[in-house]
Amino acid sequence: MTTPEDFVAAEAALLDARRFDDWLALFAEDGHYWVPLQGAAQADPHSHNSIAYEDRLLLQLRVERLRNPRAHSQHPASHCQHVLQRSRVEPGPDGSDELLLHTPFLYIEARGDDQLLLAGSYRHRLLRTATAWSIREKRVDLLNAGRALPAIQLFI
């Protein structure tokens, strides 16, 4: 089994390579992808609006849209690059098979002549299975999350 830090780096590499189906397969069946509107200050996704709060079904729909040749927002296609700092690992609750990782990042998304740069910190809640890790929750705390953002086409 890979280390949790290597797992998070491999997850970002899948997104950079546009291997969205492989990326989606990393999520647990009850996994969520969450981008809070209030950044690190937001305690939960239900008491305030979020930029994104998606379960596996919604993530699957986004992946299908990105693959669809009629997705006009992907002509030309968007590409991204994740630059990660070293993750800080915290144990999960006593007796659980979960870990929490905090990973500062830079995210660059490019499409045509346009380029978007975002910074923030990931909080991955990983579940240890018999053979690998899976993502129970990926939280993306953007620096200046509450400011006006252009459309983000891919997954931060």
Domains of the chain: 4-70+79-142 (3.10.450.50)
- Greatest C-alpha distance within the chain: 50
Question: For residue 90, what are the β-bridge partners?
Answer: 100
Instruction: Identify the pLDDT of residue 92.
Output: 81
pLDDT in tens, the chain (156 residues): 799 999 999 999 999 999 999 999 999 999 999 999 998 889 999 999 999 999 999 999 999 998 888 888 888 989 999 999 999 999 887 778 899 999 999 999 999 999 999 999 999 999 998 889 999 999 999 998 888 888 888 898
From residue 29, alpha-carbon distances to 32, 56, 128, 155 in Å are: 9, 7, 13, 18
Residues in the chain, how many? 156
Query: What is the predicted pLDDT for the residue at 146?
Result: 83
Q: CB-side exposure of 115: number of CA atoms within 13 Å?
A: 7
> For residue 78, which amino acid is it?
S
Q: What is the pLDDT of residue 137?
A: 97
Alpha-helical segments (H) within 29-80: 56-67
pLDDT at 56: 95
